[in-house]
């Protein structure tokens, strides 16, 4: 089999036993990018030279008899909102088109310590605002399963790269579903970790209280492997939890015997495509056959969560993105007569339409006279939602829902209808609002032969349970079939 | 809904052409209508979470960055400083 | 200052830079006067992806000031973002505190014209300083230096309890002196470590308060006095002419001695405060607070009153002692020995000791004279064992040799002569040689007596007891 098609877990073993070199593997993936990415458009920057140099370094270390991390020598793609020292980090925005960070994100430091190989930076919706990767200033990314369709978003490049064999595993970020929805659309696995388990230092902020970096991969164990490396408390990010983490790969026990799986009716409603509903209920029945107990539960209205999400996320975004003003870094408008014009022209020319809408919405909900009715009420709604999840987890261990209301839509289909686009997030935003972990795994295809994803939601820091539950289904179906995308 | 698009644009340091204004006004109104779907709950009291105490940093200096590294991305630099259009003091 | 029958209401917002080793939200050095943009990092430059981490010392120092000003400390509080665009603010928001400040409901007692006045303290909160704009005609634009970005500040907001520029000046001096006593700020005006915004309104006594005007850009305390008097006079003039005052923000120009409109109420900024999502909650344990409280020394405003009351010192002397912590401490060490009169101790410190520290740039400790040693010397003068002029030379000798006053007096035979026979001989000699002075005295020029006593001291080589010789002279002159 071509090396680029294999999982990190398999490749790690082969590298460690010197059956293959990291350079061979990296070459294989770079060749794949060279041949495939013209169509897919997953990468904004490919660092061929750096990747091969890093791979050679790993090979040298192994030759010298060093024992390395299981991620050593594995080629990764990184979402382009995670700062990489010396490598352009654009957030897929004109605003940061030429921005080269002078520092590394904490997750990048951790990956470097684990001797990873950095392939380059992946396309996304501009500043992670969007659900189709179409708001990228630079390029469209196509779904490897159907090139007429979007890969989902905002981590569309991360999902498409993994699905198309253009990376072994990737990092994405998830503020309202930005890892899980594209994972679902591209038929791969994506984990949105518990808020506070992965450092946000170096992740260009969209919504600080909701953003989390997470892994995307073609298998559950690869997802667990990458998560084991990136999680942990970071002194540079005081919102990371003060706790220690076990090795999630070693802790893997793919069984659901005795597990209580909650099924919230609110997530299987009218807005969800029948084929998607049926597929996810099928997963539930398989779990039941494997010894799990299905429990009907009730969660708060998804429209509350969506409203609270768009208010909180946009409020924080309006403030987080204020620093892009043409003064210190990034784009500066060519024409201006004074400071005010420098600000207005830079920001008007540098940001795309979706980013401007979110900034305006955020400014509105924080402005004098509206703060209490919108922002504050949304924050109290968030508390209510968190509380309802706490109650729900008293009667179940994990919650099973569809990841997205439907499968991948066509490029351009929703781009002019914001509300329709926002509805893509309706099943995922609640998890961010509640700060919980959730994993999306493939669970079949619809009549258009597009991947369907289901979402497993756990209580805080229950990632191991999610991996175990997801792996039980993965084992049952004999792994996730990506032949169509990866061929 | 009484959204003053001009005022919001000013606060956000964004500017819109008259055509854009019409488009954004309509879009924003639909979005605001969506986010108004919040439950009826008591939202008085401060927004503070006493169960989430913060670990404070020790007062020890660390310095890793040269001025050149930090100003490398700046659009305009003179005499080791970032330059903006002339302002009255 | 004459306020023409109006009452002037003043509230102050003092911004003081704290002298922590590092900045408030990053580990950059908190130092003044270094090369432009040399004390910066991605965090204080507001680079994309960076996050703040709160310096624990900043919280500790702010709590100290809170206790010093009798505040209630909010053991659970948070930080908020204040959003506005300005080139010196790299993130386009300042991390500050909005609805729950670290300290609130305090007060400060100040001494104005010998009377204690209690000024309410609304709140003290922590926040970050902004960078510096450099306006220089040799450059085509305005330059931005980010070194000061993230320097920790406390903002101390007073109630509108001050009634004159003089009171405001005393308030500011007292705040500064307390900051220095607590060791939490350098209080260096010329480096901008203390700045203030001033709120002023005027009204006729018995009538409701007037509309308040805020003044920004006041960088010195003497400037504050000028700014207040200018603004009060401006408002009074407007009212006297039948006009009304509008709520606005004005900018003080100290060089021109006037202020100009910065923005009217209609243009008031909408800062869109909201809780800083990158930081979690500041939670202070009772034990931590108690430990901080235990470090608060007696404060200069309280010392001042005590020195006047308990030691009978004049206000000016008390001020001079209190102004410098080391002088006050040395004074207290001296008086605690119970060997000398406080006024004499004070005179020595404000006299020879201060002269020496000023001349040499040394601290009192570095001069190498201990409080007990100085007390012994002063006691010799108080016990008439040596005269004050001899005491000065003994003091110099002590500094040079490290010997005790007693040893030096004994070795050099400097003990004051009180033997009447010996002194009478000296007096007679002086009287014989100064007939003119004697005539002057008898002619009504009584200060001739001082001259004659001085002559006696000279002849006795400073050892004669001046009081006894004075008596002897008087006897002759009056006789």
Give residue A83's pLDDT: 98
Neighbouring subunits of A (3+ Cβ pairs under 8 A): B, C
The range of the structural domain enclosing residue C352 comes to: 300-412
Report the candidate in C29, C153, C30, C46 with the shortest Cα–Cα distance to residue C89.
C46
Kindly state whether residues C286 and C304 are assigned to the same domain: no
State in Å, rounded, how far the first CA of chain A is from the last one: 11
If phi > 0 it is left, if psi is from -120 to 50 it is alpha, else beta; for residue A187 that is left
pLDDT of residue C44: 97
A175-215 pLDDT per residue, tens? 999 999 999 999 999 999 999 999 999 999 999 999 999 99
Spatial separation of the C-alpha atoms in residues C16 and C154, rounded to whole Å: 5
Which of A22, A131, A136, A154 is labelled catalytic? A154
CA distances from A316 to A163, A175, A363, C210, C272 (A): 32, 11, 9, 38, 11
Of B54, B62, B84, the CB nearest to C141: B84
- Which residues 169-208 of A have a C-beta within 8 angstroms of B? none
- Asked if B75 and A336 come within 8 Å (Cβ–Cβ), the reply is no
Whether residues C98 and C13 fall in one domain? yes
**Domain regions of chain B by residue span:** 1-37
Pairwise CB contact (< 8 Å): C42 & B70: yes
List A12, A69, A178, A184, catalytic entry: A178
Residues of C in contact with B59 (CB under 8 A): 20-22, 55-57
Angstrom distance (rounded) from CA A93 to CA A366: 24
Model pLDDT, residue A186? 98
Are residues B75 and A326, on separate chains, in Cβ contact within 8 Å?
yes
Nearest CA to B59 among C65, C23, C43, C38?
A: C23
Residue C233 sits in the same domain as residue C130:
yes
- For residue C97, give how far its alpha carbon lies from the nearest alpha carbon of chain A (Å): 16
Q: Are residues C98 and C169 in the same domain?
A: yes
- Asked if A316's CB is within 8 angstroms of C277's CB, the reply is yes
Q: Is the pLDDT of residue B89 over 60?
A: no
Lowest mean pLDDT among A151-165, A242-256, C211-225, C437-451: C437-451
User: Could you tell me if C277 and C340 lie in one domain?
Assistant: no
- According to DSSP, residue C5 is labeled T
**Same-domain pairing of C55 and C196:** yes
DSSP per residue, C271-298: ---EE-TTS-BEE--HHHHHHHHTTPPP
User: Taking 80 as the threshold, does the pLDDT of residue C396 lie above it?
Assistant: yes
ipTM of the complex: 0.97
Residue C1 has pLDDT above 80, yes or no: no
C236 and C186 share a domain? yes
| Final residue in a domain of this structure, among C292, C312, C338 | C292
User: Where residue C455 sits, what CATH number does that domain have?
Assistant: 1.10.10.410
Last residue of a domain, one of C271, C292, C313: C292
Residues C382 and C442 in one domain: no
The answer to whether residues C84 and C189 belong to one domain is yes
* pLDDT, tens only, B44-85: 888 999 888 999 999 999 988 999 999 999 999 999 999 999
**Residue C474, C-beta contacts closer than 8 angstroms, at least 6 positions apart:** C449
Q: Are residues C159 and C229 in the same domain?
A: yes
Residue A245: per-residue pLDDT: 96
Structurally, chain C folds into a number of domains equal to: 3
Neighbours of C467 (CB within 10 A): 13
Tell me, yes or no, whether C209 and C111 share the same domain. yes
Instruction: Give the closest-approach CA distance of B13 to chain A in angstroms.
Output: 5
> Which domains are assigned to chain A?
3-260+395-486 (3.90.1300.10)
C305 shares a domain with C288: no
* pLDDT of res. A191: 98
pLDDT in tens, C173-222: 999 999 999 999 998 877 889 999 999 999 999 999 999 999 998 999 99
Please report, for residues A96, A138, A177, C226, the alpha-carbon distance to residue C234 in angstroms, rounded to integers and kept in the order given: 49, 58, 59, 12
* Structural contact between residues A287 and A261, judged by C-beta atoms closer than 8 angstroms: yes
Amino acid B23: pLDDT? 95
Cis upstream peptide for C85 (omega within 30°): no
Give the end of a domain, one of C292, C326, C351.
C292
* Nearest-Cα residue of chain A relative to residue B70: A102
- Determine whether A79 is an active site residue: yes
Across A7-27, average pLDDT: 97
Cα dihedral: A12, A17, A22, A23 (round 10): -160
Question: Pairing between strand C80-83 and C258-264?
Answer: unpaired
Query: Does B82 contact C59 at a Cβ distance shorter than 8 Å?
Result: no
**How large is the average pLDDT for residues A74-103?**
98
For residue C17, the Cα-to-chain-centroid distance in whole angstroms is: 15
| Strand C72-73, strand C80-83: pairing | unpaired
The number of C-beta contacts closer than 8 angstroms across B and C is: 123
Q: Is residue C2 part of a domain?
A: no
B76 to chain C, any CB pair closer than 8 A? The answer is yes
Is residue A209 annotated as a catalytic residue, yes or no?
no
Which positions in chain A touch C54 (Cβ < 8 Å)? 238
Chains in touch with C (≥3 Cβ pairs < 8 A): A, B
Residue C209 lies in a domain: yes
Average pLDDT of chain A, as a whole number: 96
Stronger pLDDT, C463 or A139, i.e. the higher one: A139
Cα-based distances in Å from C176 to A84, A90, A244, C69, C116: 45, 47, 46, 12, 18
Annotation says A178 is catalytic: yes
On chain B, the residues whose CB falls within 8 A of the CB of C76 are 48, 50
How many helices (H) and strands (E) chain C has is answered by 17, 16
What's the whole-number mean pLDDT along residues C108-135? 95
Distance from CA of A195 to the nearest CA of B (A): 13
Residue A303 near chain B (CB below 8 Å): yes
Integer Cα distance of B40 and A113 in angstroms:
49
Question: What is the Cα–Cα distance from A63 to A248, expressed in whole angstroms?
Answer: 28
Quote helix, strand, coil % in chain C, to nearest 5. 40, 20, 35
C-alpha span between C184 and C164 (Å, rounded)? 28
Query: Residue A140 in contact with residue A411, Cβ under 8 Å?
Result: yes
């Amino acid at each position: 089999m071509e090396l680029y098609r294999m999982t990190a877990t398999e490749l790690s073993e082969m590298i460690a036993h010197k059956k293959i070199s990291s350079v061979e593997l990296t070459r294989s993936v770079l060749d794949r990018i060279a041949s495939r990415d013209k169509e897919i458009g997953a990468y904004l920057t490919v660092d061929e030279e750096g990747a091969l140099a890093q791979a050679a370094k790993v090979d040298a270390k192994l030759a010298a008899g060093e024992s390395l991390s299981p991620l050593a020598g594995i080629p990764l793609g990184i979402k382009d909102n995670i700062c990489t020292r010396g490598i352009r980090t654009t957030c897929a925005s004109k605003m940061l088109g030429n921005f080269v960070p002078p520092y590394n994100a904490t997750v990048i430091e951790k990956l470097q310590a684990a001797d990873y190989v950095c392939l380059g930076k992946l396309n996304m919706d501009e500043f992670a605002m969007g659900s189709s990767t179409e708001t990228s200033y630079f390029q469209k990314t196509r779904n490897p399963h159907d090139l007429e369709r979007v890969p989902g978003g905002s981590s569309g490049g991360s999902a498409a790269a993994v699905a198309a064999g253009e990376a072994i595993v990737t990092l994405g970020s998830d503020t309202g579903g930005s890892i899980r929805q594209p994972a679902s659309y591209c038929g791969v696995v994506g984990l949105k970790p518990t808020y506070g388990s992965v450092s946000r230092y170096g992740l260009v902020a969209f919504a600080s209280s909701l953003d989390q970096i997470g892994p995307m991969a073609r298998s559950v164990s690869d997802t667990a492997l990458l998560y084991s490396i990136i999680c942990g408390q970071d002194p540079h990010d005081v919102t990371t939890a003060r706790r220690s983490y076990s090795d999630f790969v070693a802790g893997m026990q793919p069984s659901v015997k005795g597990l209580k799986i909650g099924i919230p009716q609110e997530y299987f409603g009218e807005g969800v495509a029948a084929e998607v509903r049926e597929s996810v209920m099928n997963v539930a029945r398989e779990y039941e056959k494997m010894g799990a107990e299905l429990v009907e539960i009730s969660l708060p209205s998804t429209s509350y969560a969506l409203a609270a999400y768009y208010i909180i996320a946009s409020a924080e975004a309006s403030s987080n993105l204020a620093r892009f003003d043409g003064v210190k870094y990034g784009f500066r408008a060519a024409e201006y007569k004074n400071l005010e014009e420098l600000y207005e022209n830079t920001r008007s020319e540098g940001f795309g339409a979706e980013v401007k809408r979110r900034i305006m919405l955020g400014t509105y909900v924080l402005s004098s006279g509206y703060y209490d009715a919108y922002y504050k009420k949304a924050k109290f709604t968030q508390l209510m939602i968190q509380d309802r999840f706490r109650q729900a987890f008293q009667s179940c261990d994990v919650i099973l829902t569809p990841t997205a209301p439907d499968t991948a839509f066509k490029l351009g289909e929703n781009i002019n209808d914001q509300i329709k686009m926002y509805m893509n997030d309706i099943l995922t935003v609640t998890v961010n609002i509640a700060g919980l972990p959730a994993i999306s795994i493939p669970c079949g295809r619809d009549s258009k032969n597009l991947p369907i994803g289901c979402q497993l939601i756990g209580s805080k820091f229950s990632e191991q349970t999610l991996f175990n539950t997801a792996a039980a289904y993965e084992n049952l179906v004999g792994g996730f079939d990506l032949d169509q995308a990866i061929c | 809904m009484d959204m003053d698009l001009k005022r919001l644009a000013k606060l956000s340091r964004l500017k819109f052409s008259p055509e854009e204004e019409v488009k954004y006004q309509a879009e924003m109104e639909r979005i605001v209508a969506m986010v108004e779907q919040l439950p009826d709950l008591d939202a008085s009291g401060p927004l503070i979470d006493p169960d989430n105490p913060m670990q404070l940093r020790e007062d020890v200096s660390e310095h890793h960055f040269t001025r050149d590294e930090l100003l490398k991305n700046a659009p305009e630099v003179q005499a080791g400083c970032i330059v903006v259009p002339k302002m009255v003091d | 200052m004459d306020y023409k029958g109006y009452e002037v209401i003043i509230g102050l917002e003092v911004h003081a830079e704290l002298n922590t080793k590092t900045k408030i939200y990053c580990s950059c050095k908190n130092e003044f006067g270094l090369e432009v943009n040399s004390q910066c990092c991605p965090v204080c430059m507001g680079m994309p992806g960076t996050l703040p981490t709160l310096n624990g010392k900043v919280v500790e120092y702010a709590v100290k000031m809170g206790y010093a000003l009798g505040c209630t400390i909010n053991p659970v509080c948070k930080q908020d973002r204040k959003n506005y665009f300005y080139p010196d603010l790299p993130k386009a928001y300042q991390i500050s505190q909005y609805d729950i400040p670290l300290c609130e409901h305090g007060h400060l007692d100040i001494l104005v014209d010998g009377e204690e006045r209690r000024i309410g303290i609304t709140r003290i909160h922590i926040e970050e300083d902004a960078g510096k704009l450099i306006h220089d005609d040799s450059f085509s634009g305005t330059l931005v230096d980010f070194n000061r970005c993230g320097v920790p500040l406390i903002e101390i907001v007073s109630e509108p309890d001050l009634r004159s520029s003089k009171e405001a000046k005393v308030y500011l001096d007292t705040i500064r002196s307390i900051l220095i006593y607590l060791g939490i700020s350098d209080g260096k005006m010329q480096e901008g470590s203390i700045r203030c915004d001033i709120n002023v309104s005027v009204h006729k006594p018995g009538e409701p308060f007037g509309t308040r005007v805020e003044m920004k850009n006041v960088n010195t305390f003497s400037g504050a006095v000028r700014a207040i008097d200018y603004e009060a006079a401006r408002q009074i003039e407007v009212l006297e002419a039948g006009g009304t005052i509008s709520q606005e923000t004005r900018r003080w120009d100290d060089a021109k001695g006037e202020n100009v409109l910065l923005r009217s109420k209609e243009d008031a900024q909408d800062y869109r405060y909201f809780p800083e999502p990158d930081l979690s909650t500041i939670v202070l344990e009772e034990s931590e607070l108690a430990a901080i409280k235990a470090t608060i020394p007696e404060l200069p405003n309280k010392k001042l009153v005590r020195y006047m009351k308990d030691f009978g010192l004049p206000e000016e002397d008390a001020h001079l002692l209190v102004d410098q912590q080391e002088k006050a401490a040395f004074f207290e060490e001296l008086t605690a020995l119970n060997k000398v009169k406080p006024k004499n101790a004070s005179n020595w410190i404000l006299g020879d000791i201060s002269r020496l520290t000023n001349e040499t740039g040394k601290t009192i400790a570095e001069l190498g004279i201990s409080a007990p040693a100085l007390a012994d010397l002063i006691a010799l003068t108080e016990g008439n064992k040596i005269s004050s002029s001899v005491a000065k030379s003994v003091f110099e000798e002590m500094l040079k040799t490290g010997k005790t006053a007693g040893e030096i007096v004994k070795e050099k035979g400097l003990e004051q002569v009180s033997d009447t026979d010996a002194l009478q001989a000296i007096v007679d000699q002086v009287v014989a040689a100064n007939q003119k002075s004697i005539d002057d005295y008898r002619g009504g020029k009584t200060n001739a007596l001082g001259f004659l006593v001085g002559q006696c001291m000279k002849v006795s080589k400073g050892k004669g007891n001046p009081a006894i010789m004075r008596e002897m002279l008087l006897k002759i002159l009056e006789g």
